[in-house]
Chain A
Amino acid sequence: MEKMQNTMMKHYKMFAAIGLLIVVIAFVVSLQASDANSTFFSATKEAREGSDSTLIAANVTRNVIQQWVPAFKFVGLGLMLGAITMALGLIAMALRDMGIGLMSGWPKELNQGPPDKPRAAKMFPLLMIMGWMLLLAGLVVALASNGNVSAYWNNSIALVLNPAGPGSIELLQLGFIQGIKPWLGALRFAGMGMIFTAITVALTVIIRTLQAQKKILRGFIKARSFPRLGEG
């Protein structure tokens, strides 16, 4: 498991590149939404709410894109933050390996061996993966709800949506669409929060590694210098 994590961490640049690609794709898709918005709002209010198929299609496009693109964009940002977490993990590993390499040249009586890996070192990859899972879950829900968004807006606003009565399928769809929006937004930020926590924990690992090295070095210098002082 740890070996797999270490191998994955070495590919942090790839994760960053995939993240950037996703954010750029999200931007390109949003240009399509911009085009649909332009078509829809160029018409008068009466026409927008009527049964013109071009305007209804433009309305469906702009609403569908608004539903899933933010979730997709956040998956990209999450991957990039994950790459930053992995790079911090690699820094911690390099510091530890450097310490072990340096200590290997010390006399046996002064070399107590490397300290145990802090628990935080095992925790941050898990937090990062949990953050990714939340962002992915948000994307899956957003994509799954696209059917409802598309079905709801694929109607004339004035003729079908506004006169829809209680218990009608249109009102149920509207309730569903409006209902998932707030928690989907919160889920995205929960995912990002997890990844930011992973970054903080990875920084803690680096700080603890440096503190442990300072302690070991201090012990080494003390042990080497006291006999000499005695001789003097």
Chain B
Amino acid sequence: MENMLQKMMNRFPLFIGMGFMIVVISLVIGVINATNAVDYYAVEKVARETLQEWANVRADVESTSIWLPYFKFFGLARILAGITTALGVIATKLMQMGKELIAYVPEQARLSVPDRPKSVMWMRMFMMMGMLIILAGFIVALITAGTAADLFSNPIAVIDTTTPGSELLDQLASVHAAESWLEAFKFVGVAFLFIGIVNGLTSIIFALQYQKKAMPQVVGNLPAADTSIELRPAPAVGSVM
């Protein structure tokens, strides 16, 4: 499990590349959707609200406007997860470097290397939670977009004159209800990813503060006459994070 996570963390450029691609694809789809919206609003109000042909265009525009922001945030989440992972890699390298350096120091001057900080675990947890929240939101957005496509494939004149308790009104209510919480939900995902980044930075601060504290102590512990410490290859150090 740990090894798998390590391998995944080293692939952070892939995460960022994939995220960037998703954002670019969102832009292209957004441009296509905008063109459809321009066509729709270029038609006179009576025609676009009564003709089936324009209802289908509106269905496309409305449903895309629901799922596309989530798709874009899914890409952004991957980029943020890539940044978090990169911070994790920096912290890992710092701790490995510390271990390797300590291995060069004579035994009597060595200090014990502290355990991995809990912030590493929190970093991974928040990153995954953030990704999951955005993924869950994306799935709900796709379902809502399907409902919106069904609803708006009816001409506006039909939707406006529907009777109480009809399926169309239920669909209208569920689309608008979902839209308002979905908007805030994606930011909860982003907030979790930010907390992941904060924990990644905390791990780096932990490693640096340990090194800051340990270095003078190691120098102080060195034997006074030993001014020419012979460098020898350090023993292999396993991953520490």
Contact = CB atoms under 8 A, between A and B. Distances in A.
B44 to A, nearest CB: 20
Contacts of A88: 201
B198 A37 contact: no
B212 A97 contact: yes
Interface string A82-111: 011001101100110110011011000000
Nearest to B133: A27
B176 A41 contact: yes
Interface string A44-59: 1101000000000000
Nearest to A69: B184
B193 to A, nearest CB: 10
Nearest to A36: B180
Contacts, number: 124
A47 B164 contact: yes
Interface in B146-203: 159-164, 169-170, 172-181, 183-185, 187-188, 190-192, 194-195, 197-198, 201-202
Nearest to A100: B212
B177 A19 contact: no
A104 B174 CA distance: 67
Contact of A101 (B187, B188, B212): B212
Contacts of A101: 212, 215-216
Contacts of B192: 20
A42 B204 CA distance: 52
A19 to B, nearest CB: 7
Contacts of B191: 19-20, 23-24, 76-77, 80
Contacts of B161: 44-45
B181 A84 contact: no
Interface residues of B, number: 41
A97 B205 CA distance: 12
B111 interface: no
A43 interface: yes
A83 B215 CA distance: 28
B28 interface: no
Interface in B31-82: none
B195 A43 contact: no
Contacts of A23: 184, 187-188, 190-191
A187 to B, nearest CB: 18
A42 B166 CA distance: 9
Given A30-B183, A31-B181, A77-B191, A42 B169 contact: yes
Contacts of B180: 30, 33-34, 37, 62, 65-66
Contacts of A95: 208
Interface in A8-48: 12-13, 16, 19-20, 23-24, 26-27, 29-31, 33-35, 37-45, 47
B176 A98 contact: no
21 contacts: A29-B184, A31-B181, A35-B177, A38-B177, A41-B172, A41-B175, A41-B177, A42-B170, A42-B173, A44-B164, A45-B160, A66-B180, A76-B191, A84-B197, A84-B198, A94-B205, A94-B209, A95-B208, A98-B212, A101-B215, A102-B215
Interface of A: 12-13, 16, 19-20, 23-24, 26-27, 29-31, 33-35, 37-45, 47, 62, 65-66, 69, 73, 76-77, 80-81, 83-84, 87-88, 90-91, 94-95, 97-98, 101-102, 104-105
Interface of B: 159-164, 169-170, 172-181, 183-185, 187-188, 190-192, 194-195, 197-198, 201-202, 204-205, 208-209, 211-212, 215-216, 219
User: Nearest 9 pairs between A and B by C-beta?
Assistant: A30-B184, A87-B201, A94-B208, A38-B177, A23-B191, A37-B176, A41-B173, A80-B194, A98-B212
